[in-house]
């Protein structure tokens, strides 16, 4: 089962490498990972998606928590949460496919953020599943729309409602 | 008035303020400012080793035997990489250790400078934590944090990587050693959950076939006293992991000895048949459980560990006790007394009858297939390795610190030397590091200068760190080395006998072994060789004689090269699946 773990960690040199190293060392899987400082400059917030049964997720969380620089770990999937990922996709868009691609982008509420005579660069924000669906839609559109580049930010997430993850 | 000190002086001063007695180390370019600081002080003695791996094992032996963290100092590059095996050894067995590594100057980091290696990176998977000093002014705080992290919670090694510029004598700083340390991201559990404690005791009072399975965590927490009280009152059998030997007295009738792959028959049978297992400071290592799917099918599992990640990792626990083993065992003992007093006589009597039956079972197992302590030396016969351990046990009256290397001799020592006190049995349990025995014995001797220290080794393991014989002479360490010489890598050979049709691939070298007696004499020590079983006791007595009290003595005991370690777990089986001897029909 896919899980989204939110991790608060000390914003220190080398702390990210400990998290990533742990996953490699213990044969855990990272599907996506994103990290940046928070409003408190001493803290970074890291969101990572991984998968496994409950036992494995528990073990991953305990091992993360054991890292000295990790301040807090939560599994966002344990409660209601908002999940977002950013996609930038560059597509070859020529002739009649230009209109078709634009329509698809509109349907998914994507924005065209850069244009050349041959290409569109489209920005799309949403849960990972929506991004997957958009990429498939472009790929399968039948028109002459070659995907040139795909960049995804990895998942960021936050708990719904009053729940706050803080130190 | 605050003192003004350089980074190098602050580092050594901070170690003094931590009460460090010894630094085990080896100098080199990046560490020279620190070495100069060592030269200009008297409080800490530096032990000059011959190889950095040995320095880490010495610090490790010192830590295991005294309970205080061991301190290592190495230079950058090869000095640092040589220390890795010893750091990993300490990490696997949760031993508190501080490893200070010199590093190339900050402005050269990342340039592939001479003797540069990414020590923080290369050690990362085998340390509890690590620090890279960014600025000299951080040094006192970093040292304080390092000791705090290494010694609290589940202990472990901490690396401090020190770029050379941060120890430069030309820049000085106001030195003040922090009195305390608080890390928001590191708050190890200490006090356990009292409702879980009560649940555990209710289970214990209702158990018909309880077993205590005791590991190194009880040794680490110095919780042997309260363990003994509880065990005696509850009349439970106690089995110990390789790391836990001595936490409960090995000669006591309630001790079943070691469990697991080479554990005693009665310990493994009892674990399999138990209806309640108290795992105390133990982590269900694969060398204990055999196949986890078949592990103790009838038992309720109570698991005490200071590390939450050790719980429910291999075996699911029904009652979980997270906390310091000493705190939790004290709570268990108090709860036991309170709940026991509340019991009516019928309930108590009923349980006594159940326990009576349980002990009867155990004693039957013990007398049927327990370790044979009545082996006799036969004239003209090869020395059995078990006999050598028994001879050592008698000669030292069971009161020595015994370190070991890794292999058959390690298992024989664990089986036949009965430790009545914790911290007496020093071996590399988790990582299984050959070469650990001699240097760890040196650390033990440093930490316990008046005690008898024996190193049980094999010729394979011994040759991995024998250069330290020179260090032993330099510091006058009167270690007694008992070399069970079977002219082969015995445990490898045993597996090849049992699982590879007797094809001894790369496990023998009998034509090229040195004459150890001469070798040891060349290093300035006493060598004794014994190959006749009837001469064994005399050789052992000579080694430990008053005349050799201040000498390192190496006893080269030529043992039966065909002997195997038994019992041995059957791969993939349950704990009660054991091979008991070379005869195929001896399986129960």
Q: Within 10 A of A107 (CB to CB), how many other CB atoms are there? A: 10
Question: In the predicted model, is pLDDT for residue B587 greater than 60?
Answer: no
* Cβ-Cβ contacts under 8 Å, A14 against chain B: 120, 130, 132
Residue that has been written with the tokens 């029904």 in this structure: B318
What is the Cα–Cα distance from B206 to B38, expressed in whole angstroms? Answer: 59
* Cβ-Cβ contacts under 8 Å, B313 against chain A: 59
User: 3-class SS at B229?
Assistant: helix
What is the pTM (predicted TM-score) of this model? 0.96
B337 and B230 fall within a common domain? yes
Strand residues in B332-478 grouped as ranges (E): 401-404, 425-426, 453-458
B290 and B393 fall within a common domain? no
* Cβ-Cβ contacts under 8 Å, A10 against chain B: 185
What CATH number should be reported for the domain holding residue B279? 3.40.50.1220
Q: Looking at the domain assignment, is residue B188 inside a domain? A: no
Q: Looking at the domain assignment, is residue B486 inside a domain? A: yes
Q: Do B313 and A59 touch (CB under 8 A)?
A: yes
Q: Do A10 and B185 touch (CB under 8 A)?
A: yes
What is the Cα–Cα distance from A75 to A9, expressed in whole angstroms? Answer: 15
Q: What is the pLDDT of residue A141?
A: 73
Contact B336, B234 (CB under 8 A): yes
Check residues B1 and A41 and name the one with the higher pLDDT. A41
B27 and B59 fall within a common domain? yes
Task: Kindly name the residue from B132, B411, B464, B491 that is annotated as catalytic.
Answer: B491
B354 and B492 fall within a common domain? no
Structure tokens given for B22 = 């010894």
Spell out the alpha helix ranges (H) of B284-384. Answer: 286-289, 325-342, 345-369
Q: Does A17 touch chain B (CB under 8 A)?
A: yes
What is the Cα–Cα distance from B23 to B11, expressed in whole angstroms? Answer: 12
Q: What is the pLDDT of residue B584?
A: 56
Residues in chain B: 588
Buried residues in B439-474 as b, exposed as e (16+ CB within 10 A) = bbbbbbbbbbeeebbbbbbbbbbbbbbbbbbebbee
Q: What is the pLDDT of residue B2?
A: 85
Average pLDDT over chain B reads 96
What is the Cα–Cα distance from B375 to B560, expressed in whole angstroms? Answer: 14
What is the Cα–Cα distance from B426 to B421, expressed in whole angstroms? Answer: 12
Structure tokens given for B226 = 């309260």
What CATH number should be reported for the domain holding residue B553? 3.40.50.970
Q: What are phi and psi of B490, to 5 degrees?
A: -60, -45
B285 and B350 fall within a common domain? yes
Pick from B327, B344, B369: which residue ends a domain? B369
Contact B461, B428 (CB under 8 A): no
Average pLDDT over chain A reads 94
Structure tokens given for B10 = 């602050």
B429 and B363 fall within a common domain? no
The alpha carbon of residue A58 is apart from the nearest alpha carbon of chain B, in Å, by 9
Q: What is the pLDDT of residue B372?
A: 85
Strand partners, A49: A4, A32
Contact B260, B291 (CB under 8 A): no
Please write the tens of the pLDDT for every residue from A108-160: 999 999 999 999 999 999 999 999 999 999 988 766 679 999 999 999 999 99
Buried residues in A146-166 as b, exposed as e (16+ CB within 10 A) = eeeeeebebbbbbbeeeeebe
Please write the tens of the pLDDT for every residue from A16-43: 999 999 999 999 999 999 999 999 999 9
Q: Looking at the domain assignment, is residue B472 inside a domain? A: yes
Q: What is the pLDDT of residue A143?
A: 66
Contacts made by residues B135-139, CB under 8 angstroms, sequence distance 24+: B135/B166, B136/B6, B136/B7, B136/B10, B136/B165, B136/B166, B136/B167, B136/B168, B136/B171, B136/B173, B137/B173, B138/B166, B139/B7, B139/B10, B139/B11, B139/B14, B139/B166
B390 and B536 fall within a common domain? yes
What is the Cα–Cα distance from B285 to B575, expressed in whole angstroms? Answer: 12
CA distances for A1 relative to A50, A57, A126, B120, B540, angstroms:
8, 9, 20, 34, 61
- By C-alpha distance, which of B387, B561, B384 is closest to B490? B561
Q: Looking at the domain assignment, is residue B533 inside a domain? A: yes
Cα end-to-end distance, chain A, whole Å? 28
Q: Looking at the domain assignment, is residue B376 inside a domain? A: no
What is the Cα–Cα distance from B249 to B172, expressed in whole angstroms? Answer: 53
The alpha carbon of residue B276 is apart from the nearest alpha carbon of chain A, in Å, by 23
Q: Do A68 and B124 touch (CB under 8 A)?
A: no
Q: Work out the angle between the directed axes of helices B345-369 and B194-206 (0-180°, nearest 10).
A: 70
- By C-alpha distance, which of B173, B27, B169 is closest to B100? B27
B350 and B418 fall within a common domain? no
CA distances for B140 relative to B1, B15, B113, B136, B181, angstroms:
17, 9, 27, 9, 11
Rounded average pLDDT over B67-94: 98
Provide the Cα torsion B242, B432, A67, B280; round to 10°.
-10
* Cβ-Cβ contacts under 8 Å, B307 against chain A: 66
B443 and B402 fall within a common domain? yes
B311 and B449 fall within a common domain? no
Provide the Cα torsion B142, B147, B150, B154; round to 10°.
-120
Contact B160, B142 (CB under 8 A): yes
Q: Taking an 8 Å Cβ-Cβ cutoff, which residues of chain B contact chain A?
A: 120-121, 124-125, 128-130, 132, 134, 149, 183-186, 307-309, 312-313
Give B378's pLDDT tier (boundaries 50, 70, 90). confident
User: 3-class SS at A10?
Assistant: strand
Q: Does A71 touch chain B (CB under 8 A)?
A: yes
Please write the tens of the pLDDT for every residue from B229-281: 999 999 999 999 999 999 999 999 999 999 999 999 999 999 999 999 999 99
The alpha carbon of residue B207 is apart from the nearest alpha carbon of chain A, in Å, by 28
B421 is catalytic: no
Q: What is the pLDDT of residue A96?
A: 84
Q: Looking at the domain assignment, is residue B161 inside a domain? A: yes
Domain span holding position B153: 3-175
Q: What is the pLDDT of residue B537?
A: 96
How big is the CA angle at B494 (ends B492 and B496), to the nearest 5 degrees? Answer: 70
Q: What is the pLDDT of residue B215?
A: 98
What is the Cα–Cα distance from B278 to B300, expressed in whole angstroms? Answer: 9
What is the Cα–Cα distance from B111 to B105, expressed in whole angstroms? Answer: 11
Total domains present in chain B: 3
Which ipTM was obtained for this model?
0.93
Tell me: cis bond preceding B567? Omega within 30 of 0 counts.
Answer: yes
Q: Which residue of B has its CA nearest to A9?
A: B185
Least confident span in B329-338, B369-378, B394-403 = B369-378
Q: What is the pLDDT of residue B120?
A: 97
Please write the tens of the pLDDT for every residue from B516-543: 999 999 999 999 999 999 999 999 999 9
What is the Cα–Cα distance from B336 to B342, expressed in whole angstroms? Answer: 10
- Given the DSSP bridges, would you call strands A70-75 and B300-305 parallel, antiparallel or unpaired? unpaired
Contact A39, A73 (CB under 8 A): no
Run of H or E residues at B9: helix B7-17
B164 is catalytic: yes
The alpha carbon of residue B130 is apart from the nearest alpha carbon of chain A, in Å, by 9
Residue ranges and CATH numbers for the domains of chain A are 2-79 (3.30.70.260), 82-156 (3.30.70.1150)
Q: DSSP per residue over B49-90, as a string?
A: -SSHHHHHHHHHHHHHHHSSPEEEEE-STHHHHHHHHHHHHH
Please write the tens of the pLDDT for every residue from B401-410: 999 999 999 9
B258 is catalytic: no
B128 and B55 fall within a common domain? yes
Q: Do B125 and A25 touch (CB under 8 A)?
A: yes
What is the Cα–Cα distance from A46 to A43, expressed in whole angstroms? Answer: 10
B237 and B317 fall within a common domain? yes
Contact B317, B279 (CB under 8 A): yes
Question: In the predicted model, is pLDDT for residue B294 greater than 70?
Answer: yes
Q: What is the pLDDT of residue B373?
A: 83
Q: Do A68 and B121 touch (CB under 8 A)?
A: no
């Amino acid at each position: 089962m896919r899980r989204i773990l939110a991790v608060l960690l000390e914003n220190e040199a080398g702390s990210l490498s400990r998290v990533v190293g742990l996953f490699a060392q213990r044969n855990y899987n990272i599907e996506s990972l994103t990290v940046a400082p928070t409003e408190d400059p001493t803290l970074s917030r890291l969101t990572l998606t991984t998968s496994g049964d409950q036992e494995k997720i528990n073990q991953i969380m305990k091992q993360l928590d054991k890292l000295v620089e990790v301040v807090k770990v939560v599994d966002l999937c344990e409660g209601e949460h908002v999940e977002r990922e950013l996609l930038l996709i560059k597509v070859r868009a020529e002739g009649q496919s230009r209109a078709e691609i634009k329509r698809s982008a509109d349907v998914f509420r994507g924005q065209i953020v850069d244009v050349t005579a041959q290409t569109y660069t489209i920005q799309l924000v949403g849960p990972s599943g929506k991004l997957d669906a958009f990429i498939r839609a472009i790929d399968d559109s039948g028109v002459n729309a070659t995907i040139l580049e795909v960049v995804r930010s990895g998942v960021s997430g936050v708990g719904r409602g009053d729940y706050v993850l803080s130190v | 008035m605050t003192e003004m000190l350089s980074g190098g002086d602050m580092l050594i001063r901070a170690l003094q303020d931590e009460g460090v007695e010894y630094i085990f180390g080896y100098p080199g370019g990046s560490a020279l400012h620190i070495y100069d600081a060592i030269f200009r002080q008297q409080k800490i003695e530096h032990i000059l080793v011959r190889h950095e791996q040995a320095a880490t094992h010495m610090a490790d032996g010192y830590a295991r035997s005294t309970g205080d963290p061991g301190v290592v100092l190495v230079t950058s590059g090869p000095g640092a990489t040589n220390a890795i095996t010893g750091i990993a050894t300490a990490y696997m067995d949760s031993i508190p250790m501080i490893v200070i590594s010199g590093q190339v100057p900050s402005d050269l980091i990342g340039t592939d400078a001479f003797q540069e290696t990414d020590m923080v990176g290369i050690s990362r998977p085998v340390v509890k934590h690590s620090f890279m000093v960014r600025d000299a002014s951080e040094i006192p705080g970093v040292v304080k944090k390092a000791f705090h992290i290494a010694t609290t919670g589940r202990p472990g090694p901490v690396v401090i990587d020190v770029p050379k510029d941060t120890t430069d004598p030309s820049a000085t700083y106001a030195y003040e050693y922090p009195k305390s340390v608080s890390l928001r991201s590191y708050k190890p559990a200490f006090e356990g959950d009292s409702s879980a404690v009560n649940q555990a005791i209710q289970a214990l009072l209702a158990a018909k076939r309880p077993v205590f399975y005791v590991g190194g965590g009880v040794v680490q927490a110095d919780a042997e006293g309260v363990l003994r009280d509880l065990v005696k009152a509850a009349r439970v059998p106690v089995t110990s992991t390789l790391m836990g030997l001595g936490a409960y007295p090995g000669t006591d009738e309630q001790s079943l000895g070691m469990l697991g792959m080479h554990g005693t028959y009665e310990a493994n049978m009892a674990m399999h048949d138990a209806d309640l297992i108290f795992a105390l400071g133990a982590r269900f290592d694969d060398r204990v459980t055999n196949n986890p799917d078949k592990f103790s099918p009838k038992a309720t599992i109570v698991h005490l560990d200071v590390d939450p990640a050790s719980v429910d990792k291999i075996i699911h626990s029904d009652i979980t006790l997270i906390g310091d083993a000493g705190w939790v065992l004290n709570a268990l003992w108090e709860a036991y007394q309170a709940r026991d007093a509340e019991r009516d006589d019928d309930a108590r009597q009923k349980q006594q009858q159940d326990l009576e039956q349980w002990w009867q079972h155990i004693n039957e197992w013990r007398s049927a297939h327990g370790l044979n302590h009545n082996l006799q030396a036969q004239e003209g016969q090869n020395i059995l390795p078990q006999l050598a351990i028994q001879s050592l046990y008698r000669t030292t009256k069971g009161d020595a610190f015994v370190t070991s290397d890794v292999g058959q001799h390690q298992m024989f020592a664990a089986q036949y030397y009965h430790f009545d006190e914790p911290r007496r049995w020093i071996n590399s349990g988790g990582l299984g590091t050959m070469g650990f025995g001699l240097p760890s014995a040196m650390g033990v001797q440093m930490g316990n200068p008046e005690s008898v220290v024996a190193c049980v080794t094999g010729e394979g393991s011994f040759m991995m760190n024998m250069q330290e014989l020179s260090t032993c002479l330099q510091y006058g360490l009167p270690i007694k080395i008992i070399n069970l010489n079977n002219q082969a890598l015995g445990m490898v050979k045993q597996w090849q006998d049992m699982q590879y049709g007797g094809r001894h691939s790369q496990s023998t070298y009998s034509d090229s072994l040195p004459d150890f007696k001469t070798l040891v004499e060349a290093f300035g020590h006493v060598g004794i060789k014994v190959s006749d079983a009837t001469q064994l006791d005399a050789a052992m007595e000579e080694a430990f004689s008053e005349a050799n009290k201040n000498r390192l003595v190496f006893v080269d005991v030529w043992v039966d090269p065909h002997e195997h370690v038994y019992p041995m777990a059957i791969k993939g089986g349950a704990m009660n699946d054991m091979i008991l001897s070379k005869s195929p029909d001896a399986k129960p």
